[in-house]
Structure 1
Amino acid sequence: METYLPSTHSCREPILPNAQELDTAADRLLEELPREGVGLTGVTHHLTKHVLPACNDSSLSPHYYGFVTGGATPAALMGDMLATIVDQNVQVHLPEETICTTLESRTLEMLLDLFHLPRETWKGRSFTTGCTASNILGLACAREALLRDKLVFAGYGFADASIAELGFLEACLQSGVKGMQVLAAMPHSSVTKAAAVVGIGRQQVKSVSLAEAPWEFDMYQLEAALDDGVRRGIVSIIVAGYGEVNTGRFVSNLRDIRSLVNRYGSAWIHVDAAFGIFARVFSKLDGAHSMADVAGWAEQIGYADSIAGDGHKLLNVPYDCGFFFTRTANILEQNLVNVAPYLAAPPISGPPIPSPLNIHLENSRRFRALPVYATLGAYGAAGYKDLVKRLILHAREIARVVYRHPAYELLPVEDGTEEECISRVFMVVLFRARDPWQNQLLRERINATGRMYVSATVWDGKPAVRCAVGNWRVSTDKKGTDGWGVVEEVLQQVGGML
């Protein structure tokens, strides 16, 4: 099993299991519950010899560039193993019985510190299973906040003025609200899923993207949609992307969007910052050579009402881990409060920490804060600044290889010098083959080398390849098994076939 520990793992090639390994694993899987078990030794042999070889190296290889997949730092892996061993149910705040809820609260504060977000501003905080769950919380808090004031105006007491109490339909009827819409620029698919889960509906997610830069809002369309909503009695949730899933680009004018929202009143701004929030590990005061430009991409996130982020991406903690922040802690608790006598927390002295079951989707929860606490404690702010910088520089060298190769086209196509185009890359490199027929085979040929893995997407209605750098193992050097030279060799090899 040492093969699977990061201290000894050595960039297995190919990254994906072969057909024989997959077939063997499928054939050897138990088809039914055994009457008598095979025992610990037997199941260990089964897992290590048959199952593990058929798993891919998505989190183990520095050259798995699909789906913005991070790895697990050694500290995070240790924390995750310990979380399994102690097996805490982080549910009710019982500080005289376990440290787990206090540690979780402290870890969320440390995350705010990492992202330069004031603790006193972002008082609603929770861990989730990932950004999908965090987006669900964002839309749930948004709909709650948007209808609460209208219900109070309609005569309801503050405690009863709640979708969580009345239900979505009754709250809309009593408040006079005719509907709810989500306005977004090229939103991630999880935003649409979240809209379905919280009862807003997929069809109410409307794109108001700028044609030439679809990750940005078309401010004229946005204003028209807000104005139309007000006239028709529809309240609006605005979802901004930090960064867009194909290009990694950021909405750049959240301040202007906030001004527009303030003018029209009934709107909430939620930022889907699954991996883009990590631009905030940098500061504009760091200087030109320390990613100050990247820091600027996310500097306006403070104009949001809520933020969703992923831990199992650039934080490099094991699956599954996400986090959610909002300014309005009472809105979060109003949505999720879980009342039962046997789950009540006893009176305590010291800092008030809400029981996690009142601010999380799940009641029973894994101690997923422990690996986050471990990795933040081990590497600190400076370590994460170095890690994210390494990811960005690795991605930019890949973008440079693509830019200079005649067979490839770096996307999105924009004006500017080589350096200007490269400097716009965060940690996702989007490209395609210039030959349309060969472009259909590009992803397949890259992955067939077994040395790296990329995922497919569509850009401007045509197939494209998405290369997302997220694993802590990558290097800024060209040489070595973790260097970007491996990618250059593969792209040169495949490019010669195009």
Structure 2
Amino acid sequence: MRDLLARAAELAAEHRTGLGDRPVARPVDLAALRAGFGQLRDEPTPPATVLEELARAAEPGLVATAGPRFFGFVIGGALPAATAADVLAAGWDQNAFNAVLSPAAAAAEETAGSWLKELLGLPATASAGFVTGGQAANTVGLAAARHHVLAEAGWDVERDGLAGAPRVRVVASEERHATIDRALRLLGFGTRAVVPVRAKPDGAIDVDDLAAKVDGPTIVCLQAGNVNTGACDDFRAARAAAKNAWIHVDGAFGLWAAANPATRALLDGVELADSWACDGHKWLNVPYDSGFVFCSRPEVHAETIAYRAAYLTGAGEVSGMGDLTLESSRRARGFAVWAALRELGRDGVAELVDRCCRLARRFARILAEGGAEIANDVVLNQVLVSFGDDARTDAIAAAVQRDGTCWLGGTTWRGRRYLRISVSNWTTTEADVDRSAAAILRLAGQ
């Protein structure tokens, strides 16, 4: 086992240390890639052989998403300490359902959860569940919202379901993320429950229109960091407009702005919400899969999610583990999160967020000077870039992906197509931005 894990670490380190020099993505023959993984054998294979076969089979299909010039999907690359901690977590093989199964996993999550709340400007008394990502966090947060607003109306949704329940209005921006709609489908509301609210030109919610839409049992969905522009909603004004509604904040990446003094004002009043969703594998740069859901009412969070079974030892106390997440048997995500926060500290997290924002502005400036149109005010780490008509912009995006210098995708914003650049990686430097912008302009010129 010692030699096997040492070799796995060696292979992983070789990959990670070479990310800055390799093409971010390469054309892949998917049929050949699948064939490289072979057929199921009758006889057993020694673990060391399996490891080498896996490394060879996977290599042609690996994308440098953890590298410094991947600017798609608002994702980072795992920090050194977080990567090493995840290796330990795999080796320790802990089931993080509750403190009986793993006291160490419980303590790590409780500690990291308190640090996260401090950095994100959330109430210290809020619950913290370690989930798989933004989708799970939004689903759990909206499930807690469903429980609360229906209980306030005298309905036990966990016992009686939604059939015959008072109608719940889900008020959300027309610029909401798709995970909100999926969560509503999974929770039985259906997407027709959404009462859409106008968005302002920057993508933030129109609070005046929001105020007119709140009526009866209502869940309001707000956003910290529009996925295209980075714009944040006016949380303080929304709280005043939403009266007694439950407010859920989708802060997959934008909630991290609270950790940086230079961007903290964008989240003024976010602590007044009732639940919050955030990702760790985005701006915190921890390994996949890592997300967080916080709730201002821990008892509502637990009543919504927890279950009890006679064979479960240690059940009965609300914890940040199985009672607050949808999974029972799950890996110990808290170790990597604790390690990342320990490595960075308050100052390091602030610097990481601030640097990515500065690099995004640098990206926008260089591309604008090269003749591109920048569609958004770069308030966080998101940049929207157009090179004229939609077809040309899409063609440039495809050319950039084939070129391999960097990777970015396309998006639709206000009916037009744009390149969408997200700067989220802890290893990205000014030189990476300059090299990537030069490649984009070179390809646009062709």
TM-score range relative to shorter protein? over 0.9
> Can you list the C-alpha shifts for 1:176-235, whole angstroms capped at 9, x where unaligned?
x2343332241000000001111111122232123533x222234323322xx44xxxx2
The partner residue of 1:71 within 77, 83, 89 is 77
| 1:273 shift after superposition | 0.2
The partner residue of 1:427 within 381, 389, 394 is 381
| 1:399 shift after superposition | 0.8
Q: Does 1:225 align with 2:225?
A: no
- Paired with 2:411 and 2:445, the residues of 1 have a C-alpha distance of 22
> Can you list the C-alpha shifts for 1:138-167, whole angstroms capped at 9, x where unaligned?
11111111111221xxxxxxxxx5312222
Q: Secondary structure at the match of 2:252?
A: coil
1:487 equivalent in structure 2: 436
Q: Secondary structure at the match of 1:270?
A: strand
- Paired with 2:91 and 2:401, the residues of 1 have a C-alpha distance of 37
The partner residue of 1:204 within 172, 186, 193 is 193
Instruction: Give the alignment of 1:364-443 within 5 angstroms.
Output: 364-406=329-371, 408-412=372-376, 421=377, 424-443=378-397
Instruction: Give the alignment of 1:304-315 within 5 angstroms.
Output: 304-315=273-284
1:178 equivalent in structure 2: 167
The runs of 4+ residues in structure 1 deviating greater than 6 Å are none
- Cα 1:98–1:216 change in 2 (3 A) is closer
- Paired with 1:369 and 1:114, the residues of 2 have a C-alpha distance of 16
| Higher mean C-alpha displacement, 355-364 vs 460-469 | 355-364
| 1:7 shift after superposition | 6.4
TM-score, L = length of structure 2? 0.92
Instruction: Give the alignment of 1:32-71 within 5 angstroms.
Output: 33-59=40-66, 61-71=67-77
Q: Which amino acid in structure 2 is aligned with residue 496 of structure 1? A: G
2:138 equivalent in structure 1: 135
1:113 equivalent in structure 2: 118
Contact preservation (8 Å) 1:309, 1:322:
yes
The partner residue of 1:144 within 131, 142, 147 is 147
Contact preservation (8 Å) 1:15, 1:450:
yes
The partner residue of 1:269 within 243, 247, 251 is 247
Contact preservation (8 Å) 2:286, 2:337:
yes
Compute the RMSD of aligned alpha carbons: 2.1
| Higher mean C-alpha displacement, 104-113 vs 307-316 | 104-113
1:244 equivalent in structure 2: 226
Q: Which amino acid in structure 1 is aligned with residue 18 of structure 2? A: H
Contact preservation (8 Å) 1:208, 1:218:
yes
| 1:135 shift after superposition | 0.3
Q: Which amino acid in structure 2 is aligned with residue 186 of structure 1? A: E
2:27 equivalent in structure 1: 18
Contact preservation (8 Å) 2:129, 2:324:
yes
2:156 equivalent in structure 1: 162
Q: Which amino acid in structure 2 is aligned with residue 404 of structure 1? A: E
Q: Does 1:363 align with 2:328?
A: yes
| 1:459 shift after superposition | 1.4
1:417 equivalent in structure 2: none
- Paired with 2:172 and 2:209, the residues of 1 have a C-alpha distance of 10
Contact preservation (8 Å) 2:226, 2:232:
yes
Q: Secondary structure at the match of 2:363?
A: helix
- Cα 1:241–1:140 change in 2 (3 A) is same
Percentage of pairs with the same residue? 28
2:35 equivalent in structure 1: 27
- Paired with 2:239 and 2:256, the residues of 1 have a C-alpha distance of 22
- Paired with 2:357 and 2:53, the residues of 1 have a C-alpha distance of 39
Q: Secondary structure at the match of 1:18?
A: coil
Q: Secondary structure at the match of 1:169?
A: coil
Q: Secondary structure at the match of 1:182?
A: strand
* Structure 2: runs of 5 or more not aligned: 1-7
The partner residue of 1:100 within 99, 105, 120 is 105
> Can you list the C-alpha shifts for 1:29-60, whole angstroms capped at 9, x where unaligned?
234x321133223322221112133121112x
1:187 equivalent in structure 2: 176
- Paired with 1:399 and 1:55, the residues of 2 have a C-alpha distance of 28
Larger Rg: 1
2:5 equivalent in structure 1: none
Q: Which amino acid in structure 2 is aligned with residue 246 of structure 1? A: N
The partner residue of 1:461 within 415, 438, 444 is 415
Q: Secondary structure at the match of 1:216?
A: coil
Instruction: Give the alignment of 1:275-294 within 5 angstroms.
Output: 275-283=253-261, 291=262, 294=263
- Cα 1:76–1:441 change in 2 (3 A) is same
Contact preservation (8 Å) 2:173, 2:199:
no
- Paired with 2:383 and 2:112, the residues of 1 have a C-alpha distance of 31
Q: Which amino acid in structure 2 is aligned with residue 409 of structure 1? A: E
- Paired with 2:71 and 2:414, the residues of 1 have a C-alpha distance of 21
